[in-house]
Amino acid sequence: MNTFRAAISSFLDTDEIIEPSTAEYHKNSQVWASHKFKHPQLVVRPKSLESLSNLLKILNDTDVDFAIRGGGCGSVSTPGVLISMSAFDDFVFTKEDETVTIGAGQLWRDIDQKLEEIAPEYSVPGARCTYVGVGGGTLQGGVSWMSSEYGLTSDPQNMLDAQIVLMSGEILWASTDPDLLWALRGGGGAFGAVTAFKLRAYKYPQKVYSGMILYPGEALEELSKKVPHFADTNTDPKVAMHFYCLDMIQGALVGKPSVPGLAVLVYDAHGEEHGRKEAFKWALEIPGAMDTTKGMSYKEVNELNDAMEQTRAQITMMMTAVVIPVVTEDLIKKTFKWYEDSLAQQPKLNAGTFVLIELMQKEAFNSVKSRKDTGWPRPNGRHILQLGTGALKDSGEELHKFAVKRLADAASEILDDYKTGDCMPRDFEGHHEPEKIFGENVERLRAVKKRVDPNNRIRAAYTL
């Protein structure tokens, strides 16, 4: 490592090299899931394409372990050298062709803020939570509130191009290498260090009706009928909803036993009057409903889950996300039973255990013509079932093993027709099977990887 330090010191500025003893180390190395932190010996934060290019060329000729960190809600880490991409924070809006070119080291909150300031009539199909990284979120698919109308972030009509630095040090826009651009559309971050994306921007309503409606567990019977009815009958791409099984008091964080409950997060881009009187009147009328909804900006909608950031690096969070075709009464009841059973068997899992069903339109996963059009073949479904387990950090190995198994068995326990190939690459854990997730595209992805990274130096969450 000393030889490596000496080599990079010849072309990196002192503030681009971050030692564990410095204040910047924690900010640039922190993971989301506490158990995945590997205590990097060194963090490097290149500030220019030239610095990044030189860094990757040196790493390509060494056996130094390294990883590339975007900075969002992923948990990339390494015992060696961690490359922080946070200095790549450009933002250029071009009104003539309605595009934005954005640095991949930012969080989506940065993009929401800049759009609101520079192009307030426009939005980008980015992410539903502000703490998601632009780089990681886009390279693994990208789901936003706009996806029901415009598709995923990485769909060809949205992700127009990507700037990338290869292990050889070559800097290019991926549009000059069509196979590489194809691979980057959902195929993950193992092909190089992506520094920027060119994305389509859309004129979009900036006053949205949104917020949580919370319910006691006793509302399950009515919700199990009305949520599927909403999923079946709503055809408006500007109206969407999330269904949750969650701890009503966040007991793990306040030192109290959990109170299992239910919630829906509503979204209506037609505004508050339409949301209250038409789209979600039924949800507000369910007995026991606690209404926190209101009119807000698109940026404020994405900020609704910002409180989750207080759990960053505090929980052994693990997740799985499965694309499903329909939402049924049986599914709603099974998810709540799984949630209640999980906490009954291990109450300390209340810190990170949840159920989320993202109700969407079919266009979200079907805006491309073929599964072969993008590196990650889009599943033949419509909605997303996301499940999470986890406990406060340092809760013990036995509890962690239970959480791992509970999550690994969850989808098959809840879904009648679960296929591992329907899992999304964004929430990747050890029990997932990347060959099935990427299916018929595996061999082509492998060929691109071998060509652009012949030494197989870049490691991602999964290996094909």
What pLDDT is stored for residue 310 in this prediction?
86
What is the pLDDT at residue 196?
A: 98
Q: Check whether residue 407 and residue 328 sit in a common domain.
A: yes
Q: Is pLDDT above 80 for 253? A: no
Residue 391 resides in a domain? yes
Looking at 175, 204, 233, which one is the last position of a domain? Answer: 204
The pLDDT score that the predictor gives to residue 252 is 77
Q: Look at residue 402 in the predicted model and tell me its pLDDT.
A: 96
69 and 101 part of one domain: no
- Of 84, 107, 141, which marks where a domain is finished? 84
pLDDT tens for each residue of 379-399: 989 999 999 999 999 999 999
pLDDT at 325: 96
Considering the domain architecture, whether residues 136 and 158 belong to the same structural domain is answered as yes
Mean pLDDT (the chain, rounded): 95
Report yes or no on 334 lying in a domain: yes
Write out pLDDT tens, residues 17-63: 999 999 999 999 999 999 999 999 999 999 999 999 999 999 999 99
Q: For the chain, how many structural domains are there in total? A: 3
What CATH number is associated with residue 128?
A: 3.30.465.10
Do 276 and 140 fall within a single domain?
no
Do 250 and 167 have their domain in common?
Answer: no
**Percentage above 90 pLDDT, the chain:** 91
Confidence bin at 184 (pLDDT 50/70/90): very high
What is the reported pLDDT for 1?
A: 80
CA distance 445 to 191: 9
163 and 215 assigned to the same domain: no
Residue closest to 163 by CA, chosen among 146, 140, 142, 138: 138
CATH number, domain with residue 26: 3.30.43.10
Do 173 and 219 share a structural domain? no
Q: Is residue 353 included in any domain, yes or no?
A: yes
Residues of the chain with pLDDT > 70, as a percent, come to 100
Note the pLDDT of residue 74. 86
| pLDDT surpassing 90 at residue 189 | yes
217 with 270, same domain? yes
pLDDT at 442 exceeding the cut of 80: yes
Domain assignment of residue 181, given as a range? 91-204
- Look at the alpha carbons of 70, 75, 76, 77 in this order and tell me if their dihedral is positive or negative: positive
Label residue 460 by pLDDT band (50, 70, 90): confident
Residues contacting 278, CB < 8 A, separation 6+ = none
Same domain, 95 and 152: yes
Domain assignment of residue 451, yes or no: no
Residue 177 located in a structural domain: yes
Check whether 106 has a pLDDT greater than 90. Answer: yes
Model confidence at 413: pLDDT above 90: yes
115 domain residue, yes or no: yes
Whether residue 58 is found in the same domain as residue 118: no
Among residues 84, 115, 141, the one where a domain terminates is 84
pLDDT score at 462: 86
CATH number of residue 363's parent domain? 3.40.462.20
199 lies in the same domain as 214 = no
pLDDT tens-place string over residues 226-236: 999 999 999 99
Q: Is the pLDDT confidence value at 308 over 90? A: no
Q: Are residues 369 and 352 in the same domain?
A: yes
Least confident of 104-108, 158-162, 250-254, 423-427: 250-254
- The answer to whether position 29 is within a domain reads yes
15, part of any domain = yes
